[in-house]
Amino acid sequence: GGVNLKAPEVYEERKKEVDSMKEKVEKLESEKNEVLRLIEEIDKRKVETFMKTFNEVNKNFEKLYSYIFPGKASIALTNPRDPFNSGLEILIKDSNLNLSVKSGGEKALLLLMLLFSIHLCRPSSIYIFDEIDSALDKENSIKLSLLIKELSKNAQFIVVSHNDSTIYNADAILGVYKSEDGSKVVGIDANKLINEKNEKDKNEAQ
């Protein structure tokens, strides 16, 4: 048959196009691998940062638990291999009790302790709570007030409460009452009253 004299020229043009496409594919493959490597590095850093914070929260929780409960407790991930899709559980290392037999008030107190433990990672200078003790019974209200008392060494706590245990352990009390002229505020120096009472009891004992 006839010979296409332009075949070598057409071949060279097509070869250049193929080589150009190969370069683009190789470049895209390289960029893809770099993006995947970057994603893997970011995921690794995310896990490291998460676990570092988690361990800090756990240390705070163990410390707070020891203030008001006997024994030891910690928090743990239900799936440590996949922390971002894992649940959270509280482990009670008390020889006599576990979480399943804790009362509703004690469980509520444990969750408040977990909340405090998280905040302690980046502590604030002031905290405001509105009736944080409303779901607690007498005994656990006392425990919470003692816990707040301990935490208030490094921060200021303003707590709106109707609970006498919380009020009794406060450093200062502001009472709000209704009058004909509207709401009025009265302040009480709790520490002063307690010191006066202790001094009076001491004198009477002597």
Q: What is the pLDDT of residue 28?
A: 94
Which residues does the chain have with pLDDT short of 50?
A: 95-96
Q: How far apart are CA 152 and CA 57, in angstroms?
A: 18
Taking only the tens place, the pLDDT of each residue in 70-121 is 888 899 999 988 888 999 988 887 644 555 556 777 888 888 899 999 999 9
Q: Give whole-number Cα distances, 20 to 15, 30, 176, in Å.
A: 8, 15, 80
What pLDDT score was predicted for residue 101? Answer: 55
Which 3-state string (H, E, C) describes 81-148? CCHHHCCEEEEECCCCCCHHHCCHHHHHHHHHHHHHHHHCCCCCCEEEEECCCCCCCHHHHHHHHHHH
What CA–CA distance (Å, rounded) separates 54 from 59?
9
Residue from 188, 185, 184, 161 nearest 173 by CA: 188
Q: What is the predicted pLDDT for the residue at 18?
A: 93
Q: Max alpha carbon distance in the chain (Å)?
A: 132
φ and ψ at 83, to 5 degrees?
Answer: -60, -30
pTM: 0.69
- The pLDDT value recorded for residue 114 is 92
